[in-house]
Structure 1
Amino acid sequence: MQAASRTISSSQLGPHQDLERRVLRARDGEWRRPSAEHTRLAFAQAERWLADQHRPLILDAGCGVGLSTRRLAQRFPDHAVIGVDRSEKRLSRDHGAIGDNALLVRADLVDFWRLAREADWRPARHYLLYPNPYPKSTQLKRRWHGHPVFPTVLALGGRLELRSNWSIYVSEFAMAVELLTGHRPAPREFDPAGEFLTPFEQKYVESGQTLWWLEVDLGAGRFDAHMAGARP
């Protein structure tokens, strides 16, 4: 059994009062920051690899040590799975061989998402698996749904799945999706039944924490019309 994991502590008792303003600001804003050179190079490598796969894409965003990427590739052998994380140290940890339908990429995730949108990538599935929350009330803009990149994430389309051990985070995410798409997915408690996708997931369960799950079908970009600021 892994070491116990502390539950998230926050002064927030419910969704952040500034959530709507931040989400709509991201929708209506224009992104001006150029993508980092190392991420452009990494994306070009991933794009060449994906072109040779001839399989639908699964994007494992913020994959950490890459265990989830490996397990998703095993779970969906007819898909090409790309795991993206900014940490070379995490990605270099040994979690066994990686299948020929999986690729780990070291890149800035925010820039990678924007480049994927520019390239018109349409992942069949898109995973956000722990932990991102930034639970301080002053940190809303660092949570994915409060970040300026959020409209771009939704504009990629596909079946987006979020997992977290913080219910407020998942509720906020659902509200942000509704603001941009007109559709509000329903968060629910989640039990992986021992089939853990990430080390965090296993640690949270073994610590007795409740996991939360949310899934939204974004289709093949059919919500683009709602998101004026989605393109970088």
Structure 2
Amino acid sequence: MTATEGAPIRVGIVEDQPLFRSMLEVTLGTVPGLEVVAAVATVAQARRAFPPGAVDVAVLDIDLPDGNGIALGVTLRRGQPGLGILLLSAHDAMDLLLDLPPDVKHGWSYLSKTSSTSSDALVAAIRSTAEGRTTLDPALLERMEPRAGSSVAGLTDRQYEVLRVLAQGLSNAGIGEALGITEKSVQNHINAIYAGLGIDADPSRNPRVTAALRLLEETGPVA
């Protein structure tokens, strides 16, 4: 977890639309356990406002007037490797996560402004991202299906269901609650998913993040 245990999660916001930026700042500023450090409009302002160690999670709009949130996120992450990045976009650009440089590829999340803008979804994504997990937009995941011949296509229906909920950043307890199964069953399914996708126990990689990215890589829009 990037935040100190017991301390509030420090959030930085980069959003060029004044009204949406203000809404994010006000909404997140009232959530127990979160602290909005700064809310700015541009890449240049973010680089000044978020020196390494200033925030635990950066919430970044992808389209900014003097650059883009992805390039900014890469720069911020290289200065602070443990930083969580949550991208927001008005467009369906979730697959951009697959094009990230290998040294910063893990620990990013994505929500669509148009499909998952509820405060609950946003707060859950921030908390998950702060803990090093990846959260993918649940509404966009609903529109995806496994590509024929992929490893994900080889999973059972239940394993695929568990993987899709896992990719929303939920813990084992959260997955169990969402699907009405026990935590032990969830862990058994996750172990089978890792085996089916060939995900090993590399200590330098979070297997949950790797699984979420594989889901994104091996699925496409429902025809």
Instruction: Give TM-score scaled by structure 1 length.
Output: 0.37
Instruction: Give TM-score scaled by structure 2 length.
Output: 0.38
